[in-house]
Amino acid sequence: MRIQVECVACFVRQGLETVARASSDAEVCWQAVRRVCAIAGETASDITPPELAERVYDAVAAVTGISDPFIEEKHRANEIAMGLRTHFESILADAQDPLLAAIKFSIAGNSMELGIVTEYGDVGALAEAMLAAPLGIDDYEAFRHRLSQARHVVMIGDNNGEVVFDRLLIEQMKKVRGCRYTYVVRGRPVINDVTAKDAHAVGIDLVADVADTGSGMPGLVLSACSPEARRLFATADLVVSKGQGNYEALSEAPRDVFFLLMVKCQVVSRDLRAPVGVAVVKHHEPL
């Protein structure tokens, strides 16, 4: 997905909010603001939103000296999600279709993103509301069919907190198809996105191999990925992409991908032709 004018304004806002998290020194904040605004002014129209995001967040880190300003929020997100895990497991145990329920819980976890919002909402209430609601885009049956035939599933993770519900989803997927699973994370900290350290902290490695993109972009941009990440993406029987950032990076991917996300902004809403706030299971097939 190509970047839109609204995306540039959004990333300037995110940069300013991140500066405030990282430093209270007025001069440092001004330096960072000037750097972010300069980057925004030089933005090309043919890049993806995650590519601009990396430049903005790297600029803030370079000026403030803080490479992971969201570290406390990441820990809190996982604590919130872990606190809901047992409750969600009991719902899955009684669900008519546990895989579909786990998908909806995993998508509800996608709300725990601090790029679009500044505070975590009530993810438990959101998950139960999504459980009762239809999908905004519903390619679930195609997803389940592909899963039933897969030998290697690659899931591309997005945020902390959400990663806990991704583990629940992988556990349900393995009940349908007991094959190899790989969970792909960011190569280094960016916003509150999940890294290998974060994934191991919530036990993803107990249900899947863990690999990283080799990149600090908040989305799997193939041209910026390590050779291993590109190989995993190309050779998997089923690729499951979580979240908006990965959708923005892979919406024009050269292979088929199943996107699982919550629509959180008007730009993605227009691109998907789905309302803001809905849960989406979208099968992308290249032309």
Domain count, the chain: 2
Q: Contact, 248 vs 1, CB < 8 A? A: yes
Angle, CA of 284, 48 and 221, to the nearest 5°: 70
Query: Mean pLDDT score of the chain, rounded to an integer?
Result: 95
**Domain at 232, CATH number:** 3.40.50.10880
Q: Say if residue 81 is in the same domain as residue 211.
A: yes
3-19 burial: b if 16+ Cβ within 10 Å, else e: bbeebbebbbebbbebb
Cα dist from 23 to 10, 16, 31, 33, 61, whole Å: 20, 11, 11, 12, 10
Please tell me whether residues 226 and 271 are part of one structural domain: yes
Q: Which of 29, 44, 64 delimits the end of a domain? A: 64
Q: What digits encode the pLDDT tens for the residues 234-279?
A: 999 999 999 999 999 999 999 999 999 999 999 999 999 999 999 9
pLDDT tens for each residue of 128-186? 999 999 999 999 999 999 999 999 999 999 999 999 999 999 999 999 999 999 999 99
* 120 lies in the same domain as 246: yes
202 shares its domain with 157 = yes
Query: Which residue is associated with the tokens 């370079």?
Result: 62
Among 37-51, 89-103, 225-239, 249-263, the least confident range:
37-51
What is 142-172 written as a DSSP string?
HHHHHHHH-SEEEEE--BTTHHHHHHHHHHH
Domain that holds residue 163: 73-284
Is residue 118 very low, low, confident or very high in pLDDT (cuts 50, 70, 90)?
low
pLDDT of residue 51 exceeding 90, the answer is: yes
Q: Can you tell me the distance from the alpha carbon of 67 to that of 33, in angstroms, rounded to the nearest whole number?
A: 16
CA–CA dist 227, 170 (Å, integer):
25
State CA 6 to chain mean position distance: 20
Residues 77 and 125 placed together within one structural domain of the fold: yes
Q: Is 72 helix (H, G, I), strand (E, B) or coil?
A: helix
Same domain, yes or no, for 60 and 77?
no
Least confident span in 116-125, 213-222, 234-243: 116-125
Indicate the range of 54-68, 202-216, 237-251 predicted with least confidence: 54-68
Instruction: Report the DSSP pairing between strands 137-138 and 279-284.
Output: parallel
Within the chain, how many helices (H) and strands (E) appear? Answer: 12, 7
Task: pLDDT band for 219, please (50, 70, 90 cuts).
Answer: very high
Q: Which of 64, 90, 108 is the last residue of a domain?
A: 64
Over residues 210-215, the mean pLDDT reads 98
Tell me: do 248 and 268 sit in the same domain. Answer: yes
Residue ending a domain, among 14, 35, 64, is 64
Question: What whole-number percentage of the chain has pLDDT above 90?
Answer: 87
Its pTM stands at 0.95
CA distance 22 to 169: 34
Contact residues for 207 (Cβ-Cβ < 8 A; gap 6+): 167, 170, 171, 174, 181
Q: Are residues 145 and 187 in the same domain?
A: yes
Say yes or no: 218 and 243 in one domain: yes
Cα–Cα dist 50/17, whole Å? 17
Residue 116 has pLDDT above 80, yes or no: no
Looking at the structure, tell me whether residues 43 and 141 fall in a common domain: no
Q: What is the pLDDT of residue 241?
A: 98
Q: Please, which residues have CB within 8 angstroms of residue 106's CB and are 6 or more apart in sequence? A: 162, 165, 166, 168, 169, 242, 260
Both 23 and 160 in one domain: the answer is: no
Question: For residue 127, what pLDDT is reported?
Answer: 93
Tell me, yes or no, whether 146 and 207 share the same domain. Answer: yes
Residue 124 confidence class, pLDDT cut points 50, 70, 90:
very high
Rounded-to-integer distance, Cα 282 and Cα 287, Å = 15
